[in-house]
Amino acid sequence: MKVEMMVKDKTIILTDETPFYIMLRDLFYGGEWHNMKKDFPNFLNDIEVLEFIEKNVTILSEAFYGPVIWSELVSFFNEKGIKPESFEHGTVDGLYELAIEYADKDLLGDAKNILEFAIKIDRSFAPAYEFLGTILIEQGNSEEGIKFLNRAIEVDPWLVQAYSTLGEVYYNKGEYEKAINYWLKEIEYSPNDIFTYFMIADAYTRSKNYEKAIEILNKLIEIDSDNVIAMYELSQIYREIGRNEEADIVEKEILNSKPSDPNGIEIWAKIKMKYGKYDEIVKVMEPIIDDSFESLHLKALLIVPYIKLGKIEKAKKYYEELKENDFWYLFGKKEIFDKYLTNKEKQLCGMS
């Protein structure tokens, strides 16, 4: 297809290939024509036409070619003899973003091909190695994936996501020592990756290296002194190895803490129940209860305190609301009800 138009007494010819030149500019040259001219002097006439249009008619954006169909772009490359080494002045950031778009649509094969092309252009672009390694692992090719992830951190030792993924791969293989080594490297570069501390502690625990698990959890608590989950995990390890006095000390710290993380509220409430601090649970949790679905889970934690404090109608109201709206979550709390409520108390609330 060919379209002719007159712009300021100049004849402009557009073809089926025109959108690909704009696509090349945006994907490889950050929307600028200057460096593209250096790499593709044979496209100079076409580029100058497009520059003329942008100067006198309209800005040429993704609307003129989107979406990018990788297979069509590859066909254009083949037709024009364009190879990765052609992009001497180009960058691969646009290709990386394109690979993310394809991966988000579960088109992992195309995403993989895009990243492989990007690496051929720029062998020092670490995110492409990391992303490609992750895709290979998702596709079940863990050995190749590991190679690309290790290459990523060779190129950029600060690429913490690569350490995280490598740790996960070895953890899933049951190779806990290797997993720990990668995760320790991750928190060396990114010490505030809280979840990684828990994974390291878990790997140490699975390896029966309880002292190291205790050490890493204490390090986390130094960083985040109100992390109830970390304190609870620490207390559980102490109990597992028979250090009950130290477990009790940590539990007392939980009692005196103020839960800032929603994920830690349940643990905090359980410890409060263990020590009979029902009024304190109500005092902290009532102000954060609202009509949202998320509050249903908090309401489940108030049922025991309400019954213990004689507020039976409130307990019954929350119990019925949970039974109606999230029965399986309520069923998952049966252990709490059985542990802290007598049969008579459960009957008062309508529990069978």
Each residue's pLDDT, cut to its tens digit, for the chain (352 residues) gives 666 666 676 767 778 889 999 999 999 999 999 999 999 999 999 999 898 888 888 888 888 888 999 999 999 999 999 999 999 999 999 999 999 999 999 999 999 999 999 999 999 999 999 999 999 999 999 999 999 999 999 999 999 999 999 999 999 999 999 999 999 999 999 999 999 999 999 999 999 999 999 999 999 999 998 899 999 999 999 999 999 999 999 999 999 887 777 778 889 999 999 999 999 999 988 888 887 777 778 888 999 999 999 999 999 999 998 888 888 888 888 899 999 999 999 898 888 6
Question: 33, 67, 90 — which closes off a domain?
Answer: 90
The predicted structure's pLDDT at residue 9:
63
Please give the pLDDT value at position 177: 97
Q: Which two tokens stand for residue 126?
A: 């670490």
The label of the residue with tokens 């939980």 reads 254
Indicate whether 219 belongs to any domain: no
In a domain, 192, yes or no: no
pTM across the whole model: 0.84
pLDDT reported for residue 114: 98
Residue 4: the pLDDT is 63
Q: Which of 90, 111, 145 is the last residue of a domain?
A: 90
Domain termination site, one of 32, 64, 90: 90
Residue 261 lies in a domain: no
22 within a domain of the structure (yes/no): yes
- The structural domain count of the chain equals 2
Question: In which domain, by residue range, is 307 found?
Answer: 285-352
Give the HSE-up count for residue 119: Cα atoms under 13 Å, Cβ half-sphere: 19
103: which 2 tokens? 């991966």
Domain presence at residue 29 = yes
Residue 84 lies in a domain: yes
**Distance in angstroms (rounded) separating the CA atoms of residues 73 and 262:** 47
Question: Is residue 332 situated within a structural domain?
Answer: yes
In a domain, residue 110? The reply is: no
Instruction: Report yes or no: 44 and 50 within 8 Å, Cβ to Cβ.
Output: no
